[in-house]
Structure formats: structure tokens, C-alpha cells
Amino acid sequence: MTLGILAWMQNSSNPSGGSFGPLSLYVNAYLTQVREQGYAVGSVYEQLCVLKLFGRRLERSGRQVQDLTEVVTGDFLRRLKHRYPWQAARSTLRRLLAMLRGMGVTPEAPAACRSPSDQVIDAYEHFLLRERHLSQGAVVWHLRFVGRFLSEQFGGDSLNLSKLRAPDVTAFVQRRAHQHGPAEARCLVAAIRSFLRYLHYKGLIHRDLSLAVPKVARWSFSTVPKHLPPDQVREVLRHCDRNTALGRRDYAILLLLARLGLRAGEVVSLNLEDMDWENARITVCGKGGRWAQLPLPADVARAIAYYLRHDRPRCTCRRLFIRDYAPIGGFNRAAAIASIVKRALARAGVVSSRKGAHLMRHSLATDMLRRGASLDEIGEVLRHKSPDTTAIYAKVDFNALKALALPWPGGVR
């Protein structure tokens, strides 16, 4: 079956066949691209079926490759809806357009007419990424709440930021905060406060309305950081299936989380150039764009080296860790690392109320504290900007807290 599909692809991608209409000259290039990106044979078969149908549609309508736009592909998708191979059509045509534009065959898409609100949000996004050095995940959260804020304040009317008043800001936060849990409500407050400061900084509003954003109650040291004891961390690592390429990749990632306390986003952004094998160091880009060099433990180095030598797919991407599905490349989001931790906990049978990548970071800090490390040393390893952030781990040092406890006056009766 597989050999038959490959033969069909080779024959169908022959330009002399003419079965792809105006696309015939570019099918070989497309086929080479999707093969390099790691798509399975069945998926490539579906994509070529889409191109054949689309090419014939172009031929009947008299259009050339130079005429391709999102409008043309959108019209084709509407006609193809719910017919084979409709499910693969949208991504295939998006990939085709990107390739043709990269080759200079098809003109770039015209700039969309952005509303005033969209333009402000775009500029704010650029500010967060380029000047504040926030991660892409954090920026997505900010823009989500800012978009709602502008939509509720101005709706479809023209954007007039000078009309914003403190009661408008307070009312929005009070109305929206009750719709979320405590953690998400704090994200909402932080996003709106940051946006209003940005508007004042850029001179788009005359008063700093961030002062009108109410606070969400958060009691310091109200909970103990969720963590795993060392034996459970070892169980999680031991249950990685190191007989498979995917298991060895996940094992290397889990070691970075458990031994170095890296954040999920830091693992995602690691590049091949960040490994300094001669000096046994790894360079990490942390919060706020702060770079740090960390010593590379021997077991972590061995796991990463084996993955790079035997398991990492061949591709042009410079990310250290590569997805196991097409298109081959680095992880897009920190949530992918959290999913790896969640699956690892399930395999090991470890029950935890917290299942994200930060669980391993908290576990490392807690274990260091119990071994006698100071809070300053823990903060240095975890690369905390403020000592107040590290102070949360003081709550798990139960022995020290017991030593500080004074006996009950008169003894226990």
C-alpha cells in the first residue's frame, strides 16, 4: 500500500503530467517541503489530492498562480466543504501560499484594514515583546484581557482613549474579576494595569489610570508550594520509556526541569547554540529576557547528548527539542512541556493536585531546602529576581518552624 502511494505521488508530481493545472510546475517543490517537514505518507497523499483539485479549479476559471490570494483559496474551500479531502484542504492551501510567496511567484498578501483598536493592540504587543521581553504565552494573556476591555468600552465606535475615566476601569475589573478564579483574576488585573501604564507612557491618555485598577486579594504565604518528595521525582524519571526516541526526549526534558528547575518556556526556547559542551554549561533565557549560564549536571548532559546524536529529527530548526509530529520543528508553546510532565506523572502513578512543569521546579527548591540550602542559594539556582519570590519556600521548612515555636505557657495539660 505504501509503495503504491509513493509511486502515485511521484507520477502525480511530474510536471509533464499536467494534472495539477497551473500548479504543475510547483508540485515538486511542495512535495519536497512536506517530506522535509516529516509529514506521513497518508497525509502527503491527501495534500496532493487537494492540490490536484485546486489546480483543476484554477485551470477551469482561467486563473494563474500569480492570481492566488486568500480570497481565491477561500472560495475553493467553500465549494469543497464536507467533501474529501476537505479536512486537509485549509492547511494545505495555507502552506502552498506561503511557499509560493517565499519563492516570489505569488505577491504578498495585502495589508488588512486594521481597526483603531487593533492598531493599538498591535503596538502594545510589540512593546511587550520587544521592550518588556515578555514570553509569547504571557503576551497572549495580556492581549486577551485588553481586547475585552477595549471592546466593552468602545464597542464598534471609533476609538477615543481620552474618554476613559477611572470609574470605567474600576467597573470593568470588578465586573470581569468575578467571572474568573483567583489566579486568572490576578492576570486580568495585571494585564489591565500594564496596558493603562503603557497608554500613559505613550501619551495616549493624560492620566495614569492604572491607579484605578482594584487589587485582587492575595495573602502571602497562605498556601504551601505544591511539590513532590525526592522518591516520587525519581519514580517519574524512572518510568520514562527510554527504549523509544520519544521517551528519551521526554526524559532529557524532565531532567532539565528536575535538576536545574527550568521553567517550561525556558525549555521551549533552548537552541542548539545554548549548549556549551566543553565547559559543561547551558545558557538559558529567563523571564524579562535575562540570560544566565547554568552548570550542566553529568546525567543531564548524557541524556541530551544521546537525544541529539540518535533521536533528534534532521531539520533546519535550531531548537534543542523537536516535536514528534509534523511539521517538524520546535515546540510552539510552554503548554507542550506541561503536557509532558502530566503524562509522566500518570505513567509513574504519582498523584498531585498540580501537574504542570512548575511542579518539578518547586520540588527541586523544596529538596534543596531540606538538604540545608539557604533561601539565597535557592533563589540563585532558580534565578529569582527578588528575594521575596524565594521566601515562599520558607513555609516548607517544617523543622525550622517547629524549632521557632515557643512552648505553651505552663506546659500541656
Enzyme catalytic residues: 263, 287, 358, 361, 384, 393
Distance CA 292, CA 84 (A): 51
Please answer whether residues 326 and 37 qualify as being in contact, where contact means their C-beta atoms are separated by less than 8 angstroms.
yes
Output DSSP code: residue 284.
E
176 and 148 Cβ atoms separated by less than 8 Å: yes
Task: Judge whether 174 and 217 are in contact, CB under 8 Å.
Answer: no
Nearest-CA neighbor of 68 among 106, 22, 123, 112?
Answer: 106
155 to each of 147, 168, 257, how far by Cα in Å?
Answer: 10, 14, 44
Cα angle 298-239-231, degrees, rounded to a multiple of 5: 70
Q: Determine the 3-state secondary structure of 273 from DSSP.
A: helix
Short-list 102, 150, 80, CA closest to 122: 150
- Could you identify the residue written with the cell 545554548? 274
